[in-house]
Structure 1
Amino acid sequence: MIAEVLSDTGVRMDKAVEVAKEDFAGVRTGRANPQMFQKINVDYYGTPTPLGQLAGMNNIEARTIVITPYDKGALRDIEQAIRDVPNLGANPTNDGNVVRVSLPELTEERRKEYVKLVRTKAEDAKVAVRNIRRKAKEDLESLKTEVGEDDVARGEKELETVTKSRIDAIDEALKRKEAELLEI
């Protein structure tokens, strides 16, 4: 029973770490990255749809992305959705077949804003991991009558080890992203 709780907790914490890494990938650096555009919601025939489901994206230059929609009727909607994204500073152009997105060079002030944003996302991920730990701890406490206090205490120590490893993974991803953002 304790092993099941710890296994489930580990899986849920891994998902929280992956979400944090995906969020980090969505924050732009000096280079254009198609992942930045994956989660942008486009109003596609009245339904908010992630851009990654509507179009293929290619990096053609360091700061330029070409977005090729699967449905040419969505070109204007895609262009508008990209233009409406705050903090992106992108300038999309539509040539009738593809949308070209040129990203301006990041200023030092902008880089620092992005570092703050990434730190906030990292803290949110750590809070998610801690909430998962709290729930697992409650589950372990409820098993005390069935398996005994000693086994629950060992389970809680293992839970702390699992939690620390996931928090460290988030910190490591944060450190890499900060270095990437501050690189000129």
Structure 2
Amino acid sequence: MFDTAVYQSKMSAALQFFEEELKKIRTGRAHPSMLDGVTVAAYGTTMPLNQVANVIVADSQMLQVTPFDPANLQAIAAAVRNDPSLGLNPSDDGRVVRVAMPPLTGERRAQIAKQLGDKAEECRIALRNVRQEAFKSVKAKKEAKELSEDDAKRAEKEIDKLMADFSHRVESAAQAKEREVMTV
């Protein structure tokens, strides 16, 4: 019998990565994970923001970034300002960096929805690659006479069923996030 658990875990990993990417997409409300992709030039190297500062939600439209070392304040503000995918303009008061979330315009919402669609397609491509890898493995085992014709067909159907399940989960997560983005 063909074991699909390996391919199921690979598909699950692709879905988890997609869900993490969704957290970074801005929806109009402030959320600390929006700044997860920001890297800061500190201590002579580039480091993720969460390793040089604490990010909290001050209110629904404001993030507050408190650096562990006040010397990194300017570098943190510059890193947030220079990230084009965020489009944010932080301000600092000498102790903390405040990142105000400007209201989303209709045009910006459409851009974010398009970005969301691109990320969903990347996930679907990753899922299809895992499916192709599984099909190649089934074919190789069938040619090596390790699997009978019937077992190979059953394995292919099971892989297709997994693919359909994960595709549905990606689609529903993308639609939920798109509804959240488009809500004014």
After TM superposition, the score normalised by the length of structure 2 is 0.94
Instruction: Give the equivalent residue in structure 2 for 1:58.
Output: 56
Secondary structure, in 3 states, of the residue corresponding to 1:58? strand
Matches within 5 A, 1:4-23: 6-23=4-21
What is the aligned-residue RMSD (CA, Å)? 1.2
Give how far 1:46 is off: 3.1
Give how far 1:38 is off: 1.1
Instruction: Give the equivalent residue in structure 2 for 1:91.
Output: 89
Partner Cα separation in structure 2 for residue 9 and residue 24 of structure 1: 23
Output the amino acid matched with 1:27: I
Give how far 1:134 is off: 0.5
Partner Cα separation in structure 2 for residue 51 and residue 136 of structure 1: 38
1:103 and 2:105 matched: no
Give how far 1:78 is off: 0.9
Stretches (4+) displaced over 3 A: none
Q: Which runs of 5+ in 1 are unaligned?
A: none
Secondary structure, in 3 states, of the residue corresponding to 1:67? strand
After TM superposition, the score normalised by the length of structure 1 is 0.94
Output the amino acid matched with 2:165: S
2:75 maps to which of 74, 77, 92: 77
Give how far 1:33 is off: 1.1
Tell me if structure 2 keeps the 8 A contact 1:39–1:52: no
Instruction: Give the equivalent residue in structure 1 for 2:177.
Output: 177
Partner Cα separation in structure 2 for residue 57 and residue 91 of structure 1: 16
Matches within 5 A, 1:135-146: 135-144=133-142, 145-146=145-146
Q: Which moved more, 1:140-149 or 1:151-160?
A: 140-149
Q: Which runs of 5+ in 2 are unaligned?
A: none
Count of residue pairs brought into register by the alignment: 182
Give how far 1:45 is off: 2.4
Instruction: Give the equivalent residue in structure 1 for 2:154.
Output: 154
Partner Cα separation in structure 1 for residue 182 and residue 138 of structure 2: 43
Give how far 1:44 is off: 2.0
Q: Which moved more, 1:45-54 or 1:100-109?
A: 45-54
Secondary structure, in 3 states, of the residue corresponding to 1:57? strand
Partner Cα separation in structure 1 for residue 50 and residue 36 of structure 2: 5
Write out per-residue CA displacement over residues 146-171 of structure 1, whole angstroms, 9 at most, x where no aligned residue: 12121111011000011111111110
Give how far 1:47 is off: 2.1
Tell me if structure 2 keeps the 8 A contact 1:26–1:35: yes
Partner Cα separation in structure 1 for residue 127 and residue 50 of structure 2: 27
Output the amino acid matched with 1:156: E
Output the amino acid matched with 1:151: D
Partner Cα separation in structure 2 for residue 175 and residue 52 of structure 1: 29
Partner Cα separation in structure 2 for residue 155 and residue 138 of structure 1: 11
Instruction: Give the equivalent residue in structure 1 for 2:167.
Output: 167
Give how far 1:48 is off: 2.1
Tell me if structure 2 keeps the 8 A contact 1:133–1:163: yes
Give how far 1:54 is off: 2.1
Secondary structure, in 3 states, of the residue corresponding to 2:146? helix
Partner Cα separation in structure 1 for residue 91 and residue 149 of structure 2: 64
